[in-house]
Structure 1
Amino acid sequence: MRHLPFRLFAAMLLLVAATAHAAQPATIRVDYIHSGNAQSDHYALERVVVEPLPWPGKLARNLDDTNRGQNRVEVVDAKTGALLYSRGFSTIFGEWRTTEEAGKISRSFQESVRFPKPAQPVRVRILKRDERNQFVAVWSVEVDTDAQDVVKRQPAAPARPIPIQVSGPSPDKVDLLILGDGYTRAEMKKFESDARRLAKHLFSVSPFRERAKDFNVWALAVPTEKSGVTRPSTGVHHPSALGTRYDIFGSERYVLTLDNRALREIAQHASYEFIEILVNNETYGGGGIFGQFSTAAAGNAWANYLFVHEFGHHFAGLADEYYTSPVAYQSATGRPEPWEPNVTALGDPANLKWRRHMKPGTPLPTPWPKAQYEEDSRAYQKKRAALRAANRPESEMDALFRDDLARTNALFDKQPHRHAVGAFEGANYEASGYYRPAMQCLMFDRSERFCPVCRDGISEIIDLYAGASGR
């Protein structure tokens, strides 16, 4: 049997996907402004948009029962109140309001929610978690997607999506869009190569490896005049289509875009449910917001780790399990039970949310060499800060990271609970009061594997979008 050339095969798959999409409703996007400070926030409608491509998801999975995210969008029938669509998500505003700056000034952030076009007027509600971690409605707006002021025509696509992996019709798959920022026109082949390389690595890590056929992957980049993205702390300012930059919230390694309008207007020209932005930089950095997007420095020696770790935040709402690195966020005043599946306040050990993964007799909290780890980490962080302050070559930072991981592995390898699932104190940026499921995990340090609890958390989201049956 002769094999079809890859591009012809991909084109045929795209045709199949388009045929399946023919019965899909349009994609509606509600753009709004989220403003406020550490004490209060409010919302204002900006516009309602009919995106150029049909809804990429399966209509049988319109309702989200995973209980993830700091926020939740609900779309209800305006007359009957019937729930038509829901999804959990988090926001950049939600992170910013925990910073020191949010206690001093107010800011506005652009946000969007997307859902399949309804046949009737609807009410779109935004919910957020209260002090008991329960969702409560904080804003709602009535939307008639056939109204005259709805934006129904979009400009032509600024670039064409590249099929990286097409496993089947979009409604049956998770659609991942890899966007590029900081790539010049002459670097478009480099972008495609970076996207293919990092997507391949993602599907080498469990549980993505076992579920690779549940994903479609697309890549799209709008060329920039200069190579690389903005890094203000070093005086580098490179305009780009997405506006992605380093130094978000004053953290030199935190990479996001605050230009949601630009992001959505580019992304809408490809089928997507999740977005990872590759920045064409060698400097270590990345970021991830659940239900929004994630970022990774494609040219860094740790790009594989960055891509998967940050995607864990964006895709599954996994919490950071580390706590010794400096972050912009302020410490929490209490210790409420986190909504994230991989951290706990251990308020009720008898009902630990990942107890099914534990072996009988595992102590709670679970012993680990915490004091020695923290002593080593303080020395490591001091060296890291000195390298950045002196603007040393990135190769020196790479070597420091390798040494730190090797030292951690050597320390952990001696421990009796090295591979146990338990409750190890130190997680969620806090040295005490929060616990992680395993001594080591891809969400804890630059190791290569997710722990069993994180793997479960990821699998639940894959099932939401590409499970064998409706939820």
Structure 2
Amino acid sequence: MIKITGRRIVAAMLAALGMCSGLAMAASATVRLDYQHGGNAKSEHYAMERVVIEPLPWPGNPKKAIDDTDRGNNKFEVRDAATGALLYSRGFSTVFAEWQSTDEAAQLDRSFQESLRFPKPEKPVKVSVLKRDAENRFVPVWSVQVDTDAQGVIRKQPDSGLKPIKVHYSGPSEEKVDLLILGDGYTAAEMQKFEADAKRLTEHLFSVAPFKQRANDFNVWALAVPTPESGISRPSTGVYHASALGSSYDIFGSERYVLTLDNAALRGIAQNAPYEFIEILVNNKTYGGGGIFGQFSTAAAGSDWSNYLFVHEFGHHFAGLADEYYTSPVAYQSTGEFKEPWEPNATALKDPSRLKWKKYVNASTPLPTPWPKQVYDDASRAYQKKRAELRAQNRPESEMNELFTKDLARSTALLNSAKHRHDVGAFEGANYESTGYFRPEMQCIMFDRSEKFCHVCHDAIINIIDLYSR
């Protein structure tokens, strides 16, 4: 008779867990796969650059290695090279896909560096990138064999000397969502301002539901590399500033779109803090921001609308939420096709009986759901014309802020008097399109500069919090 002690039982259970996950027992290091993603409007290709072992341990929850949220235009999978067992997966979207929808993509080829991060496996793996097809199914588009113990893997990097600021701490990284706030356009003399901006916007994030109720599931860190000049580049006005992250306005020709296209710089700085999500604060007063699911988001910290920008853009990056507005000009060029979006808060409503958020809809609410769209659109055309004039004339930002305030008051008053104001339904106008796409409620942070997420967006955010926290 074999006597099995409590210690042996625990050891056996841990060993079994390690065999099932393939990563859980060895997730002590963070692997980053850097690659090039290029092409044009009709084609794309990939090429591996390098494999890096980042300086900090893997911050993620080893028990939640597989992504079941079905978000992103892409997904990547890490599988055991010998057995094919799925070890890790995450959905994401890309800067390349944003660019691929612009006019420029029809004229030339471009390449963008991207990165995939995952916990270090014990054995060689196959890393695959998948992309949605016309039916929204993920299909493989590129794969590469990776041996994280190979001689060519970068294991040592120069000490950057960068130390993150602990803005909001709730517990060990593997049990929490780790958000890293990076600063760009802050001089050495403005480092205290950056810290104050990061703390102020973190406090605002945790005043908005559902982040408010789940604040204890987050850690927030802050990090900034000083720049020679205050603020970032704004090429449409002839302003060019060197900065560590290379953030800029006017991305893809949209004056308010702020991104960095320097992924190498972004990852080189971010790797000095525990993180799963990144928001970049740019030290500018001009309204602007951007957000890409699973990559990063940006917000102008000096704008009068910084609170809204921080939360709205984080909604894109964190939860894969679609823009619900459709009257503002964007770099995106419509194809005229209205296929069902993967984003949880937009639909083409091909079949109302199968509406993705039908569980929130009362039986008495009609689909599509009527709302004062014509009145809203007429006023929005006048508002957008004035907005374009102010930017073309490079008028003071105070005039733009005044216009934004009046527009929000006008639209809120209009929607407050509408019959289905507080109903979840299918309201036409979303995803940059006036017709053909529908949003869940009349008003939401993803629709205008209001203060609340709709029910659908609220729960979509909770799904992601649950994926990363314990």
Q: Tell whether the 8 Å contact from 1:165 to 1:218 is kept in structure 2 after alignment.
A: yes
Alignment-derived partner of residue 142 in structure 1: 145
Does 1:68 find its partner at 2:100?
no
Aligned residue runs from structure 1 range 241-320, under 5 A:
241-320=244-323
| Pick aligned residue for 2:338 from 335, 338, 363 | 335
Alignment-derived partner of residue 326 in structure 1: 329
1:360 and 1:401 map into 2 onto residues whose CA distance is 36
Alignment-derived partner of residue 81 in structure 1: 84
Q: Tell whether the 8 Å contact from 2:27 to 2:121 is kept in structure 1 after alignment.
A: no
Q: Tell whether the 8 Å contact from 1:158 to 1:266 is kept in structure 2 after alignment.
A: no
Q: Give unpaired runs (5+ residues) of structure 1.
A: 1-20
Q: Tell whether the 8 Å contact from 1:25 to 1:116 is kept in structure 2 after alignment.
A: yes
Residues 426-455 of structure 1: per-residue CA shift (max 9 Å, x gap): 000001110000000000000000000000
| Pick aligned residue for 1:203 from 198, 201, 206 | 206
Does 1:39 find its partner at 2:42?
yes
| Pick aligned residue for 1:116 from 114, 119, 130 | 119
Does 1:434 find its partner at 2:404?
no
1:346 and 1:333 map into 2 onto residues whose CA distance is 15
TM-superposed deviation, 1:270: 0.1
TM-superposed deviation, 1:23: 7.8
1:23 and 1:120 map into 2 onto residues whose CA distance is 10
Q: Which 4+ stretches in 1 moved above 2 angstroms? A: 21-24
Residues 264-296 of structure 1: per-residue CA shift (max 9 Å, x gap): 000000000000000000000000000000000
Amino acid aligned to 1:239: A
1:407 and 1:444 map into 2 onto residues whose CA distance is 14
Does 1:395 find its partner at 2:372?
no
1:327 and 1:299 map into 2 onto residues whose CA distance is 22
Alignment-derived partner of residue 104 in structure 1: 107
Alignment-derived partner of residue 176 in structure 1: 179
TM-superposed deviation, 1:155: 1.7
Moved more, 401-410 or 153-162: 153-162
| Pick aligned residue for 1:366 from 350, 359, 369 | 369
Q: Tell whether the 8 Å contact from 2:50 to 2:153 is kept in structure 1 after alignment.
A: yes
Residues 375-432 of structure 1: per-residue CA shift (max 9 Å, x gap): 0000000000000001000000000000000000111111110111000000000011
2:103 and 2:172 map into 1 onto residues whose CA distance is 45
Alignment-derived partner of residue 190 in structure 1: 193
| Pick aligned residue for 2:448 from 436, 445, 448 | 445
Q: Give unpaired runs (5+ residues) of structure 2.
A: 1-23
SS of alignment partner, residue 52 of structure 1? coil
Does 1:238 find its partner at 2:241?
yes
Amino acid aligned to 1:257: T
Per the alignment, do residues 394 and 361 of structure 1 end up closer, same or farther by CA in structure 2, a change over 3 Å counting? Answer: same
Amino acid aligned to 1:51: E
TM-score, reference length from structure 2: 0.94
Q: Tell whether the 8 Å contact from 1:27 to 1:117 is kept in structure 2 after alignment.
A: yes
Q: Tell whether the 8 Å contact from 1:207 to 1:459 is kept in structure 2 after alignment.
A: yes
2:350 and 2:235 map into 1 onto residues whose CA distance is 42
Aligned residues: 447
Amino acid aligned to 1:222: V
Q: Tell whether the 8 Å contact from 2:26 to 2:122 is kept in structure 1 after alignment.
A: no
Per the alignment, do residues 166 and 25 of structure 1 end up closer, same or farther by CA in structure 2, a change over 3 Å counting? Answer: same
Q: Tell whether the 8 Å contact from 1:158 to 1:222 is kept in structure 2 after alignment.
A: no
Moved more, 125-134 or 240-249: 125-134
TM-superposed deviation, 1:332: 2.8
Aligned residue runs from structure 1 range 20-39, under 5 A:
24-39=27-42
1:392 and 1:22 map into 2 onto residues whose CA distance is 58
Residues 53-85 of structure 1: per-residue CA shift (max 9 Å, x gap): 000001110000000000001000000000000
Q: Tell whether the 8 Å contact from 2:26 to 2:121 is kept in structure 1 after alignment.
A: no
Q: Tell whether the 8 Å contact from 2:75 to 2:129 is kept in structure 1 after alignment.
A: yes
| Pick aligned residue for 2:217 from 207, 214, 219 | 214
TM-superposed deviation, 1:130: 1.0
SS of alignment partner, residue 438 of structure 1? coil
SS of alignment partner, residue 25 of structure 1? coil
Alignment-derived partner of residue 92 in structure 1: 95
1:35 and 1:332 map into 2 onto residues whose CA distance is 20
Does 1:459 find its partner at 2:454?
no
Alignment-derived partner of residue 19 in structure 2: none
TM-score, reference length from structure 1: 0.94
1:384 and 1:333 map into 2 onto residues whose CA distance is 26
1:114 and 1:306 map into 2 onto residues whose CA distance is 27
Does 1:167 find its partner at 2:153?
no
Q: CA RMSD in A?
A: 1.1
Q: Tell whether the 8 Å contact from 1:367 to 1:417 is kept in structure 2 after alignment.
A: yes
2:109 and 2:286 map into 1 onto residues whose CA distance is 31
Q: Tell whether the 8 Å contact from 1:96 to 1:102 is kept in structure 2 after alignment.
A: yes
